Structure 1
């Protein structure tokens, strides 16, 4: 499932014909970074690919003053079918992607406890900042905020809270990570 395709097609289906900058602005306003891997910079390339595939079509060109001309796109019937397929795939896709910290943790045998603890504490501070930001977003509504927006922010907040709890557990057990197990090859026998 391609989140950028889903976002562009969904935005055009929901809001009607738009040009790239409007879609990019909507990605920022809709807080797309909370609920997807959609990056505003990737939207223009996606527009060209979707047009080449016949999923969207240019409906007009607009130009204001000396600004460059902008192509306004609309979703096609084929694009609406693709949107339904992508949405169905997204609802069916369940799972969390592996976090690189797990691999780093598995490969941290040679790190001393203080260095490892420092890495983990740094990550925890970053997560705490994310949690604080999400708490602030939850407290302040933005224009046109919907129940779905509230639920998306809450989902992100709960995921960060789970990460914080795991990091606390990790910090509590970091000393045990440095103990070489007698069952591991090369470990003390």
Structure 2
């Protein structure tokens, strides 16, 4: 049977357990503190689901169960040797392999030519305000963390996210300016793009067929 790859949240949970035993609520608190919720959906339910999966696969085991006051019992988990090895393997795979991603913004950009230029500009400016705010908050938070002496190697994902936002800001600013100046033409009739393959210099109709498209 083929190996089921760890989900992103399961990988992060496993990485936290690699630093020491934790119960799911502690994991949730740390993930929110690290702002992992900006990267993927994080909730009590998703943490428990990830922990159950890790336990089922032999990557984590219950260590102790305790109760604090009137709170429900909480089970602390620790990583296994297999879990540590799987965490390293999956991390290596994610670092070296380019995998398909499906960002929603890309889909919106692909359909933007159905709208009027003024509306596209207004919508992009609205997004720009949001991304700028996120970038500023991220930058301030990172600066504070670095000032406390946290080594940069522990923050590579955060610095990457910061750079991604900066790149998006620059692209939106440039595109808005091009639309407003007329450099990016928005007046020509709608042009059918179904015969264009951006990954090839050859039109689709010369290289593909309905049968090929189904493969």
What TM-score does the superposition give when structure 1 sets the normalisation length? 0.83
- Alignment pair present for 1:2 and 2:30: no
- Separation of aligned partners in 1, 2:27 and 2:149: 16
Helix, strand or coil: the match of 1:123?
helix
> What is the number of residues matched between the two proteins?
183
Which has the bigger relative contact order, CA under 8 A and spacing at least 6?
1
Task: Note the alpha carbon deviations across 1:17-42, whole angstroms, 9 max, x for none.
Answer: 111111111112223246x4362442
Match of 1:173 among 174, 178, 183: 178
Counterparts of 1:28-177 in structure 2 under 5 Å? Answer: 28-33=32-37, 36-37=39-40, 39-41=42-44, 42-94=46-98, 97-141=101-145, 145-174=150-179, 175=182, 176-177=184-185
Contact 1:55-1:77 within 8 A present in 2 as well: yes
Segments of 5+ residues of structure 2 without an aligned counterpart are 1-5, 194-215
- Give the alignment's Cα RMSD to 1 decimal: 2.5
Deviates more, 1:161-170 or 1:81-90: 81-90
